[in-house]
Chains A and B, each alone.
Chain A
Amino acid sequence: MLAYDRRSFVNFTIQTEAQTWFDSKLLSQEQYGAICQNFPCHFYAPTLFIRVTLFLATLIAISAGSGLLSLFLPGFSGSFSFAIRFMVFGGAVYWLLEQVVIRQKSFFRAGVDDALLYYALGSMLGGIFLLLASAGLKLPTATYFLIPLPFLAWATIRFTDTLSTVVLFLCFMAFVFFIMLSLGTLGKTGLPFVVMGVSISLLLLSNRLLTRKDLDLWAPNLLILKSLSLATFYLGGNYLIVRELSIALLDTQLKPGADIPFAFLFYFLTVAIPIAFAFQGIRKRDAVFIRMALLALAFAIFTFKYYFVPASYELFLTIIGALMILAAIAIMNYLKQPVNGFTHKSLFRRRQESLDAEPS
C-alpha cells in the first residue's frame, strides 16, 4: 500500500523524534548516534528550504520536458488529443516517481517527489476534465468534485501526502454541498444538518483510525482529517454562515426583525460548540480539540460582533487584543506549577527550564 519502504519510514520517524530529544538536551550525543545506528534509514530527506529549491527545480524541468516532447510529437490538434496527451504525460511522470525517484533513488519528501506527484495528479485530472469537455457532456457540478476523490485518496494512502489530504477533504465537502444544492429547497434547508452529520462521521472515523497502531505513519493525515472535520462541523452550525448562506442560496430577503428558521438553534450552536470542543479537549488532553476550540471561539466572537456590537472594528480589536493578552497571562500564571500534568512550558525546547515538569 505504501510507496516507501516501510522499515525505513518507521526508522525515519524514530530518527526524527530522537533528533528532537537530542536538540532539547534530553539525549546524549552517544545515545542519539546509537539510535540512528540501530534504526538506519537510507532516505534522501532534506530540510524545508532544500525541499523548496528541489521542488521548484523539478517543476521547471518537468514543464520544460513535457514542452519539448510535445514539440516532437506528431501534429495533434483539438482538445481530445490534448486530453490524451495530458493523461499520457501524467502516467509517465507517475511511473518516473514510483520506479526511479522513490524506488531507486529513495527520495523522501525531498521536493522532487512532491513536484512529480502533484504534476502527475494535475496532468491526469486535467486530461480527464478536458476529455469530458471534448465529449460535450454536460455533467452536474458535483461530479467534478467526485472525479478527483479516488486520485487524491490514492496520493494520501500511498504517499502519505498531507496536501492531498486537505484537497481530498475539501473536494469531498464540496461534493456533499453540491449534491444538497441539487436537491432543491429541501436540500438547501437541510444543508447545515447534513454538513454537521458528515463532519461528525469523519471525526469518528479519524478518531478510530488514529488508535490503530499499524496506521501510525498516517497520523499526520488523520490529524488533518480530524481538524478539518471539526472545522466544518462548527461552520455548519455557525449562525453567521447559516444566515448568509440561506440568504444567498434560498433567495430569501429577511425583513428587519425577521430571522432565519431555527435561528435559536444556531445561536445556541455558535456558542455551545466552542465550549464543547474546549471541554472535550481538556478532558481528553486533545490538542486538536483545544486548538479548534480557540479558532471556533474566535469565529463565534466575530459572529457576535458582526450582528450585535456597533463599536468600530479598531476599538473592538484593541479590546479583544487586551483581553487575549490578559487571558494568556492569567492561564500561564495559573499553570506556573503544573496542574494535573498541564503545563505552560515547552516539552521539547529549552529543556533546562522545563525538566522539573515531571509527572507526580
Chain B
Amino acid sequence: MPFPYLDQLFEKKLLDKKQYTLLSAIYSKKIFSLYYELRTGLYLGVLSFTTGAGILIYENAGSLAHLLNNVVLSAIMLACFWYAGRHRAPFTTAEVESPTPYYDYVLLLGALLFLIIEGYLQNIYGVFGQQWGLAVAVPAALFFVVAYVFDHRGVLSLAIVTAAAAVGLQVSVVAWYKNNVFSEESLIYPAIIFSVCLTAIAFVLDNLKIKRHFTFSYLLWNSVILLTALLAALFQFQPKLLFFLILATTSAGAIYHARKTQTYVFFLMGVTSLYIAVTYMIARLGNIDPVIWYLYFLASCIGLVFFVIRSVRTLGNR
C-alpha cells in the first residue's frame, strides 16, 4: 500500500532520522517481506498434507504400501514433536516467542498427525475398545499439555474443540450453521456445564497470570458454545423466564468483558444473542400487530446504534 506522507511526518519532526530511514526503506520496497506469502504457504501445506494423509491412511488396507504409509506418517509425527522439543524454550507462565519460524507449523503438523493416527488405530484395532469418549479424551488431554508446554494457541484451540467432542458436541462453523451443534436435546446441559467450567478455568488462569494470551481462545470457543446452548435451552425448555434471565446475564457479561478488554467480538456475540432472546420473548406474548413489530425493530435497532456510539470509543474520539 503506498504511503506518501512519510516526508511530511519527518519534516514536522514526528519521526527521528533512524525511524524515517527504516520506514522509507519499507514503503519504497527496499526491504520487501514475503512473510504472509510464506506463512500462508506453510499453513496450506500442513492442511492439505494432513487432509490427504487422513484419507490415504485407510486405503490399500493389508498391502505393503498401507504399512509403509502408517510407518512414514508415525515417523513424521515423531519427528515433528522431536523438533519442537529440541527447540522449545524453557517453560514460563508468560508468552514465549516462537524459537524458529517453522516451530508453530511443525507442532501443528505433529498434533494433526497424532489425531489422524490415533483415530485410525481406534477405528481399525479398537485400541480403546468401545470407549469412544476415552478415544477422544486422550488426544484432548495431550493437546492441552502440548499447548501449555510448547506455548501454541492453535493446538489449544484444537484441544478445546477435541474436548468438546469428548462431551459430544460438534463445534465447527458447519455444525453451527446447520444448527447441529447439539445433535440431541440432551446435549444442551452438558454443553452449558462444559463451557461454564472451561470459562471459569480460563478466568482463574488469567488471574493467576498463567499464559494470559490463551484467555482469548478459551473465551472465544466457550462463548460460542455457551450462548448457542442457552439460546437452544430458551427455545426448548421451560420455564422460559429463568432461561431468558440466565441468557441476559451471560450476554451482559460478554458485553462487559468486551468493553473492558476491547475485544469486540464478544460484544457482537453478546448483543446478537440478547437481541434474538428479547425478540423471541416478545413474539411469545401473542399476536402482535405488524405496525408494532416494525416500530419495535426500528426503535430497538436505532437505540442499539446510539448505545454503541456512546459506549465504544474509536480512533476518532480517542
**A positions within 8 Å CB-CB of B:** 10, 12-17, 19, 21, 26-27, 31, 34-36, 38, 41-50, 52-54, 56-58, 60-61, 63-65, 67-68, 71, 106, 108, 110, 112, 210, 213, 216, 219-220, 223, 285, 287, 290-291, 294, 312-325, 327-329, 331-332, 335, 338, 341-347, 349-350, 352-353, 357-359
What's the least CB distance linking B84 to chain A, in Å?
15
B5 beta carbon closer than 8 Å to chain A: yes
Contact A64 B297 (CB under 8 A): yes
Residues of chain B within 8 A (CB-CB) of A352 are 97
Give every chain B residue within 8 A of A318 (Cβ-Cβ). 48-49, 52-53, 56
Task: List the B residue with the shortest CB-CB distance to A36.
Answer: B318
Among A17, A42, A49, A68, contact of B268 (Cβ-Cβ < 8 Å):
A49
Residue of B nearest to A327 (CB): B41
Instruction: Across the A-B interface, give the 9 residue pairs with the lowest CB-CB distance, nearest first.
Output: A321-B49, A318-B52, A324-B45, A317-B52, A61-B301, A64-B297, A321-B48, A325-B45, A49-B264
- Interface readout for B284-318 with A: 1 if CB under 8 Å, 0 if not? 00000011011111100110110011001011111
B26 within 8 A of A: yes
Contact status B52-A314, CB under 8 Å: yes
Q: A44-B316, A291-B37 are in contact. Are A71 and B19 (CB under 8 A)?
A: no
Can you list 15 A-B pairs, Cβ within 8 angstroms, ordered by A?
A13-B5, A56-B272, A57-B301, A57-B302, A58-B301, A64-B296, A223-B1, A294-B37, A294-B41, A314-B53, A321-B53, A341-B31, A346-B33, A347-B35, A359-B31
A108 to B291: give the CA distance in the assembly, Å: 32
Contact B41 A324 (CB under 8 A): yes
Chain A residue nearest to B100 in the complex (CB): A332
Given A53-B268, A317-B48, A329-B102, are A343 and B34 neighbors across the interface (CB < 8 Å)?
A: yes
Q: Tally of A-B residue pairs with Cβ under 8 A? A: 225
How many angstroms from the CA of A217 to the CA of B30 in the assembled complex? 23
- Report Cα–Cα, A220/B268, bound state, in Å: 26
A112: B residues at CB distance < 8 A: 305
**Given A61-B298, A341-B32: A46 and B314 interface contact (C-beta under 8 Å):** yes
B314-A45 in contact (CB<8A): yes
A346 CA / B31 CA spacing, docked (Å): 11
Q: Which residues of A contact B314 (CB under 8 A)?
A: 43-47, 50, 110
Knowing that A53-B271, A315-B52 are A-B contacts, what are 8 other residue pairs whose CB atoms are under 8 Å apart, sorted by A's residue number? A26-B19, A54-B308, A64-B295, A213-B4, A331-B38, A342-B33, A344-B34, A352-B97
B173 CB to closest chain A CB, in angstroms?
16
Residues on A with C-beta less than 8 A from B264 are: 46-50, 53
- Determine whether the beta carbon of B102 is less than 8 Å from that of A343: no
Q: By the criterion CB–CB under 8 Å, are B305 and A58 in contact? A: yes
B31 touches A343 (CB 8 A): yes
Q: Are A328 and B45 in touch, CB under 8 angstroms? A: yes
Least Cβ distance of B136 to chain A in Å? Answer: 23
Task: Across the interface, name the chain A residue whose C-beta is closest to B301.
Answer: A61
B67 at the interface (CB under 8 A from A): no
Question: In the complex, are the beta carbons of A43 and B315 less than 8 A apart?
Answer: yes
**Bound Cα distance from A338 to B104, whole angstroms:** 22
Q: Mark B20-58, 1 if CB is under 8 A from A, else 0.
A: 011101100111111101100110111111111101100
Q: Roughly how many angstroms separate A3 CA and B304 CA in the complex, as a whole number? A: 25
Most A-side CB within 10 Å, residue of B23, B31, B109, B264: B31
Is there an interface contact between B308 and A35, defined as CB atoms closer than 8 Å?
Answer: no
What's the nearest-Cβ distance from chain B to residue A124, in Å?
Answer: 21
A344 pairs with B14, CB closer than 8 A = no
The interface residues of chain B lying within 8 Å CB-to-CB of A343 are 31-35
Q: Is the CB of A219 within 8 A of B297?
A: no
Contacts of B90 in A (CB 8 A): none
Q: Is the CB of B14 within 8 A of A35?
A: yes
Interface residues of B (CB under 8 A from A): 1-5, 9, 12, 14-15, 19, 21-23, 25-26, 29-35, 37-38, 41-42, 44-53, 55-56, 59, 97, 101-102, 105, 109, 264-265, 267-268, 271-272, 290-291, 293-298, 301-302, 304-305, 308-309, 312, 314-318
Closest Cβ–Cβ distance, residue B43 to chain A (whole Å): 9
Q: From A13, A43, A44, give the contact of B309 (CB < 8 A).
A: A44
Cross-chain contact A46 with B312 (CB below 8 angstroms): yes
Which listed residue, A49, A327, A332, touches B102 by the CB 8 Å rule?
A332
Q: Are B297 and A325 in contact (CB under 8 A)?
A: no
Give chain B residues whose Cβ lies under 8 Å from the Cβ of A342: 32-34
Residues of B within 8 A of A322 (CB): 45, 49
A67-B22 in contact (CB<8A): no
Complex: A27 Cα to B2 Cα, angstroms: 20
Closest-by-CB residue of B relative to A313 is B52
Cβ–Cβ contact B268 & A324, under 8 A: no
With a 10 A CB-CB cut-off, give which of A10, A319, A345 has the most chain B CB atoms: A345
Partner of B304, one of A35, A57, A319, A327: A57
Residues of B within 8 A of A324 (CB): 41-42, 44-45, 48-49
A42 and B31 contacting across the interface, CB-CB below 8 Å: no
Say yes or no: A314 contacts B45, CB within 8 Å. Answer: no
B290 to chain A, nearest CB (A): 7
Q: Write out the residue numbers on chain A whose beta carbons fall within 8 Å of the beta carbon of B294.
A: 64-65, 67-68, 71
Pair B26/A14 contact, Cβ less than 8 Å: no
Q: Indicate whether A26 sits within 8 Å of B31 (C-beta atoms), given known contacts A14-B9, A45-B315, A61-B302.
A: no
Indicate if the CB atoms of A27 and B305 lie closer than 8 Å: no
Q: Please name the residue on chain A nearest to B39 by beta carbon.
A: A328
Q: Are A68 and B298 in contact (CB under 8 A)?
A: yes
